[in-house]
Amino acid sequence: MSTRRKVSLITLGCARNEVDSEELAARIEDAGWDLADGADGADGADVVVVNTCGFIEAAKKDSIDTLLAAHDSGAKVVAAGCMAERYGRELAEALPEADAVIGFDDYTAIGERLDDVVAGRAHDAHTPRDRRTLLPISPVERAASRVAVPGHGGQDDLPDGVAPASGPRVLRRRLGGGPVAPLKLASGCDRRCTFCAIPAFRGAYVSRPPAEVLEEARWLAGHGARELVLVSENSTSYGKDLGDLRALEKLLPDLAAVDGIERVRVSYLQPAETRPGLIEAICGTPGVAPYFDMSFQHASGPVLRSMRRFGDRERFLGLLDQIRALAPEAGVRSNFIVGFPGETEDDVEELVRFLSAARLDAVGVFGYSDEDGTEAANLDGKLDPAEVAARVEELSSLAEELTAQRAEDRVGTRVRVLLEDKGEDGGFEGRAEHQAPEVDGTVLVRGEGLALGDIVAARVVDSDGVDLSADMS
């Protein structure tokens, strides 16, 4: 009988967390544990590891609820990820249902941590500190800390290297399968937005070397990936710590040329750092989706300056004009914060004017709330929560109407769709170039000879909200 024990790994939050979980999964298997299948959940698992999200209040609540549900399954429970890193000992004291709360520095020893949990040995949760004060690892240190790790399940090893905040990297194990895979460009953030706590617990910005990113792309292609989604806290900063601000522009053609990869998509671009050369690379490189995930956050100059960001309505519309001059059908999505301290009705109206003119494909609207340790939490001019909620409702309703109009504008055009799931009436559900996984709409394609994983050219015949229907005619 096998003496290997079983771990269920639950991932919450963003695509960056998905990559972290796949790296953790490889470490867990290398330490002699089995991973529960996704369908199994916590059933039969000795330990449930929850890779938490700590970005906003709703995400933190979801993380707590998931940890409590895992505890109710009867398995041992380990909290990992951003919320665990951000709160450490405070979370461990507030949530005794968790058998251990581990930080990023525990990832290299995840097998030992799981052994301790099963044996009932207490783990001393870390005291959080501002990771921005930690010096990023240098290329010399990176080379010196590389480790070789045996293959898992017949899969080839990834190149040696370092995952920021979690030590030497090991083989990544794909957890979700399917034709789409996130690929981490970097970790951390050097920006100082007043509303955001991410840099404090993710640390300073550290780019992965291009050769390492390319080697992982080849590995992903060999394990079924057709589309790569490049993720980081700020993709427009890629390469600045390597001494090359054009590193992403140079990397994109090489990624698109990887055998087996049909589409490369870049996520999370800072408007103030989106250079003309990068726009040209995204719009003009075959195999790179003309897709812009722009972090606008607002359109009023005074509010943006209070957020310690740059730009305004006119500058942002000018940026969109640059994009559409090169790729008229480019997809653009963004998120916006309303109810920021000091936001006036004039500021809201400025945002309304921007949204009405911007023709965005997908829009997320979030109400401001104080985040622990951020500068904005101490700003004057806080709005009543009821007023924040009213502004969220108003802007969300407008965004829903405008994005539906933008989708309707695509009726009659031809789109290239990556088929990902079986759809209704014998069709296939997938995403066009202007649609990112999970956060944007989908396309239902009908036609003969279709197969999962194909990228097909189809004509849009109808829209429903942000979702499209297309056929092969």
Contacts of 241 (CB under 8 A, 6+ apart): 136, 205, 206, 207
pLDDT at 162 > cutoff 50: no
Q: How many CB atoms lie within 10 A of CB 31?
A: 16
163 contacts 23 by C-beta, under 8 angstroms: yes
Mean pLDDT of 56-71: 83
| Mean predicted lDDT score pLDDT of the chain | 87
First to last CA, the chain: 56
Tokens at residue 378, please?
Answer: 């101490």
Q: How many CB atoms lie within 10 A of CB 464?
A: 12
- What kind of fold does domain 6-126 have according to CATH? Rossmann fold (3.40.50)
CA dihedral 86, 182, 449, 421 (to 10 degrees): -10
- Enter the pTM of the model: 0.87
pLDDT at 22 > cutoff 60: yes
Please determine, looking at this structure, whether the domain spanning 174-409 carries the CATH number 3.30.56.10.
no
pLDDT-wise least confident of 121-125, 144-148, 384-388: 144-148
Residue 38: which pLDDT band, with cuts at 50, 70 and 90?
A: low
| 120-125: long-range pairs with CB below 8 Å, 24+ | 123/99, 125/88, 125/89, 125/91, 125/92, 125/100, 125/101
By three-state DSSP, how is residue 79 classified? strand
Q: How many CB atoms lie within 10 A of CB 418?
A: 25
Residue 305: which pLDDT band, with cuts at 50, 70 and 90?
A: very high
pLDDT tens sequence across 125-156: 888 877 776 655 544 344 333 333 333 333 34
The predicted pLDDT at position 149 comes to: 33
In the chain, the percentage of residues whose pLDDT exceeds 70 is: 89
Does the fold of domain 174-409 match that of domain 6-126? no
- What kind of fold does domain 413-472 have according to CATH? OB fold (Dihydrolipoamide Acetyltransferase, E2P) (2.40.50)
pLDDT at 42 > cutoff 70: no
The predicted pLDDT at position 207 comes to: 93
pLDDT-wise least confident of 29-33, 152-156, 379-383: 152-156
Binding-site sequence positions: 14, 53, 82, 189, 193, 196
Residue 309: which pLDDT band, with cuts at 50, 70 and 90?
A: very high
The predicted pLDDT at position 426 comes to: 77
The predicted pLDDT at position 45 comes to: 86
Mean pLDDT of 350-370: 96
pLDDT-wise least confident of 131-135, 191-195, 279-283, 322-326: 131-135
Mean pLDDT of 48-61: 82
Which candidate, 232, 172, 220, 212, places its Cα nearest to that of 35?
A: 172
Residue type, 150: P
Q: Residue ranges of the domains in the chain?
A: 6-126, 174-409, 413-472
In the chain, the percentage of residues whose pLDDT exceeds 90 is: 59
The predicted pLDDT at position 141 comes to: 45
Residue type, 226: R
Residue 401: which pLDDT band, with cuts at 50, 70 and 90?
A: very high
Residue 260: which pLDDT band, with cuts at 50, 70 and 90?
A: very high
Binding-site sequence positions for [4Fe-4S] cluster: 14, 53, 82, 189, 193, 196
